[in-house]
Amino acid sequence: MQLDGARFLITGGGSGLGRQLALQAAARGAHVEVWDLDAAAAAATTEITGGTSQRVDVTDTAAVDAAAAAAGAIDVLVNCAGIVSGKSLLDASEAAIRRTFEVNTLAGYWTTRAFLPGMLDRDRGTIVTLASAAGLVGVARQTDYSASKWAAIGFTESLRAELRASGSQVSTLVVAPYYIDTGMFAGVRTRVPLLLPILKEAKVATQILDAIASGRQQLVLPPLARVVPALRVLPVRAFDVVMDLFGINHTMDHFIGRGR
């Protein structure tokens, strides 16, 4: 994928990793359209990137379809919008649980369905899904978030299979990072920062864009997180002991977040 001159659309581009991706993609010569529920935040991003923006609720299929028609053809769709509640199962409200799945999982269906037909017609394009390392292993106080990211990974893998079976040149990229210092997970802590560091937003954005440019289909960060699927061969209790050694289920003990 040649980024210079490519048309990007980034959901959740008004802040956090989405904004950083927009800034760096624009710096590489891409035209970037930003979608965000916060119109002012989206506009603030485009003031820097020189691209375009729309206020879009990505959980609203009619709004997505209308905004997609206005956006026109794109080369790279980045499903970056995401939320986290950080509550245990019994403390999370029904509305919060539903909202987590609507934003983190279902929104990716609606945006992809809106733009994939055009990509298939042109036989090129990339669908990028921002999942999480929490989509590889369940984490305490993330029953909704972790499950929504497992679903996002499964969505991307199944879509990749469909595209491959049809002989399409449209590609997919799933990104599964550990915690990033965007503020979304403010307060989280890691027991072994040398092996499982809190990732730097700018560096993660660079790695994602490099992955798009090189045609990678999966990006798991940091490297240690890549061994999680292999550890599934262990008995459940042994697997849980390994996760406890790394303090995975205490990372959210001091979670504050930023409310989005």
Active site residue 178: no
Task: Give the pLDDT confidence of 219-251 residue by residue, as tens digits.
Answer: 999 999 999 999 999 999 999 999 999 999 999
pLDDT band at 258 (very low <50, low <70, confident <90, very high): confident
Mean per-residue pLDDT for 177-186?
95
SS3 203: helix
Mean per-residue pLDDT for 85-100?
97
Rounded to 5°, angle at Cα 103 from 64 and 154: 100
Cβ(240)–Cβ(246) under 8 Å? no
What pLDDT sits at residue 173? 98
Task: Give the pLDDT confidence of 184-204 residue by residue, as tens digits.
Answer: 999 999 999 999 999 999 999
Q: Using CA atoms, how far apart are residues 6 and 51, in angstroms rounded to an integer?
A: 12
What pLDDT sits at residue 259? 44
Residue 74 reports pLDDT greater than 70: yes
What pLDDT sits at residue 260? 37
Residue 211 reports pLDDT greater than 80: yes
Burial of 216 (0-12, 13-18, 19+ CB in 10 A): middle
Q: Using CA atoms, how far apart are residues 161 and 171, in angstroms rounded to an integer?
A: 10
Catalytic residue among 109, 145, 178, 179: 145
Across the chain, mean pLDDT equals 97
Residue 132: partners with Cβ closer than 8 Å, 6 or more residues away: 145, 146, 149, 152, 176, 177
In angstroms, the first-to-last Cα distance of the chain is 31
Q: Using CA atoms, how far apart are residues 154 and 131, in angstroms rounded to an integer?
A: 10
Percent of the chain with pLDDT strictly greater than 70:
99
Cβ(105)–Cβ(148) under 8 Å? yes
